[in-house]
Structures are given as structure tokens and as C-alpha cells.
Amino acid sequence: MSKSQLGTALRKTNQVRMVLMGLAIILMLASLYLALEWAPEASGFSAPKAQRIMYIHIPCAWVSFLAFGILMAASIIYLRTGDDAADALASASGEVGVVLCTLALITGSIWAKEEWGTYWRSDDPKLITTFVLWLLYLGYMVMRPSTNERPTDRDARQAAVLGIMAFVCVPLTFMSSRIWSSLHPNVVATSKGSLSGEMAAVLAFCVVAMTILFLHILLLRVELVLNWRDFTGTTEDARHIRAGGRTAGRTGPRTMKKASKGGTSDGR
């Protein structure tokens, strides 16, 4: 099977991943210290200590948007080229994006319990659009075959179309608290904001750290998927070849026997 330039690049990311892994470990440890110790407590909230969870919640949400954006871009590439590497990238990015979106929902619910007194508010547009976004991409992962398996072109194209259409919900989720009335705090999405300079700097640092961790995990997952698909494809080809050889071996004697009978009949 010929490999595209994208596939070749994604199969050889070991050195890049090692650098990203080292940076991710250092930056994530620094993020924990900055978020828990260095950053000041937020003002204007009934549970200021619980507000520190935003240093996990917001990076998870933002990087899940990035993951879904990569999924959309890879899906477009697949529809144009039929490149198996693009399908693997889309599927792997969807996996990581769903995990991050799940963490965003969980951490958001923990904060809501402390701030609002309830884990969930069905009348808040930010929560509803985020939940719909999570359902859409969860459905994307459910409808397609296992990421490790090479899907048929029809299955891959159907998944690609859904991945592209679902992305419409990403900007809607981001802008929902500005479009509709929402209790969800707009810490970044407005020009006024609600963060001090130190808090904004720590939040930006945490977003960068989470992004680097995401890129490391994504490249690792894609490389594993492509290598496994190559291995199973080679194994399947070898199995067919062996099966063909056994079939030829079985039919050979029968053919010779029939020919022998035919020769005897002609001799008579």
C-alpha cells in the first residue's frame, strides 16, 4: 500500500513526540503550582476557591475545540483525497476531543455545585450547547468503526461528513453566553472580561500546557493507529496469499486426477 506524504510524516513523529512529552510534563507541573498556589483568588464569586478549577476546565474546553477543528480539517482532506492517514488523524483527534470535552463537562459541573448550588442548570445555554457538542462527537465516535480498523471508504466518508457538520456547534458553543442570557461567567469571551492580569496569565499558561499535552497524545495515537492498520493490512494480505496457496494445493491433485482419468478414457 502506497503511503501519502501526510501518512509518512505521521508515522515518523517519535522525536517530535519526545520533545512535546518533555515540555508537557514540565509545563503541566508548573501549571499545577501556578493554579493552586501562585494565582490570586477570584473576586465576585460566592465560591472563590472553587474558581481555581477553571485552570483545568477552560483549557480542556478550548483544546477540545482545537481537537474538533483538526477532525474537521482532516475530514475535508479525506473527502478530497481518500487518504487513510487523514481518516486516522480525524478519528484519533475525535477520541481525544471527546475525552477533553467530557472533562470540561465534569469540571464545570463541580464548579457549578459550589457556585450555583447545583451540578446542572437546564436553562443555561452554555451548558446545553456544550452538552449537545459532546453528544454530536460522541455519536461520531460511535457510528464509525474502531479507530484501529481501516474502515471502508463509505464508512469513512460518512464519518467525515458528520465530523464536518458537527463542527458548526463549536463556534455556537463558544459564543452562546454572548448570544443568549447565561449565568456562565465570560472570563475571556468579552472585552471587559473578569480576570485580573495574574489570573489571565496563569490561564493562558495552562492553555498552552494543555495544548502541548494534547499534541503529544494525538501524534502518539495517530502513529499507533497507522502502524496497526499497516500491520493488520499486511497480515490480512499474507493470510489471503496463504489461503490461495492452500486452495491451489488442494485443487492441483484433483485437476491432475481428472486429467489422468480423461487420458485413460481417451486411451480406451
The pLDDT tens digits of the residues spanning 140-186 come to: 998 887 666 677 888 889 999 999 999 999 999 988 877 777 777 66
In a domain, 53, yes or no: yes
Host domain of residue 209? 5-241
Q: What is the pLDDT of residue 199?
A: 84
Q: How far apart are CA 204 and CA 59, in angstroms?
A: 8
In a domain, 260, yes or no: no
Q: What is the pLDDT of residue 148?
A: 64
CATH code where residue 114 lies: 1.20.120
Centroid of chain to Cα 55: 21
DSSP code of residue 82:
-
Output phi, psi for 20, to 5 deg. -65, -40
Q: How far apart are CA 261 and CA 268, in angstroms?
A: 11
Do 199 and 14 meet the contact criterion of CB atoms below 8 Å apart? no
Question: For the chain, which ranges sit under pLDDT 70?
Answer: 1-3, 43-45, 48, 146-149, 185-195, 233-268
Q: What is the pLDDT of residue 194?
A: 60
Q: How far apart are CA 228 and CA 205, in angstroms?
A: 35
pTM here is 0.79
In a domain, 261, yes or no: no
Q: What is the pLDDT of residue 29?
A: 95
Total domains present in the chain: 1
Q: What is the pLDDT of residue 256?
A: 45
